[in-house]
Amino acid sequence: MSELDAPVPMLDLSSQFESLAPEWLASIRETGAAGSFILGPNVRAFEEEAARFTGVRHAVGVANGTDALLLSLRALEIGPGDEVITTPWTFFASAEVISLVGATPVFVDIDADSFNLDVHQVEAAITGKTRAIMPVHIFGNPVDMTTVQALAQRHGLEIIEDCAQAFGASWGGGRVGSFGAAGCYSFYPTKVLGGYGDGGLVTTNSDELVEKLRRLRNHGATAPFMHDTLGYNSRLDEIQAALLRIKLRDVNAIFAARRQVAAAYDAGLADLEVITPPRPQGGEHVFNLYTIRSDRRDQIRAALTEARIGSAICYPLPLHLQDVYASLGHRPGDLPVCERLADEVLSLPIYPEMTEAQVARVCEVVRAALSQV
């Protein structure tokens, strides 16, 4: 089969494994020999390295990105009676954790260009119960943190950044995860900095919060077998930390490769009737996903599937209209931008090892799909 008609997966995780395997496996062997499996030297070193990379004082490794958000809300003592403003255009976990601590997610519509929370609509959603804003840097695209910080300051609100899809993205020269009380990362394998299993991290500049987070991830323990609060078993695994340290060293190459694929798509799709993702004014995108818009989305997707090319719809149903949030009383039409985009968006394959020929093939199939009447 020539490269011209080979399948193109949405994501190819196995192609990077061989290059990382020798160093990672040696590190696992060292961990085994030392018998240091839980919160060992790799977790501590990764926390320091990730904090330095992000430009914050502290980082705390946790079991996954969902827990990074959950523990941050708990550490900030956000709970029943509180409201947290967030976006309906995100993976469910962002809102789920707000509800899990007993608080209420308040959904604000998104901006059609960035797919991010429309920061200009946030102020109208602030009430006496609002405790925090949770911006989500969706698809790797940074939220306008200048505006979010100004709003939070004016109204005395916490900021919890959901950086799950945006490791390394920046706004105004600062990395995401450095703008609020807590920055929450996921190392789920599909993420920009992906592990080979689950993993997560919270970044913070607060000496007080970091202590709370360290206790919460370890059953609320203040000392061995001493507990002053209910916590979780939510520790970043030593073996994942070993891999993440190796990947972090060369993470700039990952960003560059993703941006190159994105630029090749921009060029290959430029003369077609699709909307390609505009670049953020004031920040750097890391392209966890490359998402186009078209009113003929389903036609394009069918052609890609037929050509054995992966694609994804992120997201088919905004969170305010999910069954689980029926009690919030939203109706179709409440948040019109995200509801319209749910019918138009299509994420195309993107991963650092993707070749120019693969990008060209995807673009050709999109072109052929749109040329059909």
Ligand X SMILES: Cc1ncc(COP(=O)(O)O)c(C=O)c1O
Total residues binding ligand X (CB under 6 A): 15
Q: Which residue, 285 or 361, is less far from ligand X as judged by CB?
A: 285
Task: Note whether 188 binds ligand X by CB under 6 A.
Answer: yes
Cβ–Cβ under 8 Å, residues 109 and 257: no
Q: How far is the CB of 234 from ligand X (least distance, A)?
A: 10
- Rounded to a whole number of angstroms, the minimum distance from the CB of residue 68 to ligand X is 7
66 makes contact with ligand X (CB under 6 A): yes
Q: How far is the CB of 361 from ligand X (least distance, A)?
A: 27
Binding mask 79-98 for ligand X (x = CB under 6 A): -----------xx-xx----
| Rounded Cα gap, residues 208 and 202, in angstroms | 13
Burial string for 13-25 (b: 16+ CB within 10 Å, else e) reads eeebeeeeeeebe
Query: In angstroms, rounded to a whole number, what is the distance separating the alpha carbons of residues 212 and 10?
Result: 39
Closest approach, Cβ 312 to ligand X, in A, equals: 12
Closer by beta carbon to ligand X, 93 or else 108 = 93
Q: Residue 256: enclosing H or E segment and its boundaries?
A: helix 251-269
**Cα atoms in the 13 Å half-sphere on the side-chain side of 231:** 25
Work out whether 240 is an interface residue with ligand X (CB under 6 A). Answer: no
If one asks whether residue 65 binds ligand X (CB under 6 A), the answer comes out as yes
By CB under 6 A, the residues from 292 to 331 that bind ligand X are none
Q: In whole angstroms, how close is the CB of 348 to ligand X at the nearest point?
A: 17
Beta-carbon-side half-sphere exposure of residue 360 (alpha carbons within 13 Å): 6
The piece of 64-72, 271-279, 305-313, 321-329 that touches ligand X (CB under 6 A) is: 64-72
Specify the residue, 192 or 242, whose C-beta has the smaller distance to ligand X: 192
Of 136 and 262, which CB lies nearer to ligand X in the complex structure?
Answer: 136
Tokens of 303: 């052609």
Q: How far is the CB of 351 from ligand X (least distance, A)?
A: 16
Q: Is 116 in the site for ligand X (CB under 6 A)?
A: no
Q: Which residue is nearest to ligand X (CB)?
A: 65
Q: Applying CB under 6 A, does 347 fall inside the site for ligand X?
A: no
Q: Encoding tokens for residue 13? A: 């995780």
Give me the 146-175 binding string for ligand X, x by CB under 6 A, dash otherwise. Answer: ----------------x-xx----------
Q: Which stretch binds ligand X (CB under 6 A): 63-71, 141-149, 277-285, 317-325?
A: 63-71
CA angle 239, 228, 57 (to 5 degrees): 50
Which stretches of 156-232 are DSSP H helices?
A: 207-216
3-class secondary structure, 155: helix
* Nearer CB in complex with ligand X: 81/189: 189
Q: Is 24 in the site for ligand X (CB under 6 A)?
A: no
How far is the CA of 345 from the CAs of 51, 89, 131, 313, 363, in angstroms?
A: 34, 12, 32, 6, 16
Instruction: Give me the torsion for CA of 206, 208, 214, 220, rounded to 10°.
Output: -150
Could you say which residues in the range 1-20 bind ligand X, by CB under 6 A?
Answer: none
Q: Is 130 left (phi over 0), alpha (psi -120 to 50) or beta?
A: beta
CB-side neighbour CA atoms (13 Å) of 175: 22
Q: Is 186 in the site for ligand X (CB under 6 A)?
A: yes
Rounded Cα distance, 61 and 317, in Å = 31
Please name the residue that has the structure tokens 């966890």: 288
Q: Which residues bind ligand X (CB under 6 A)?
A: 64-66, 90-91, 93-94, 136, 162, 164-165, 186, 188, 198, 200
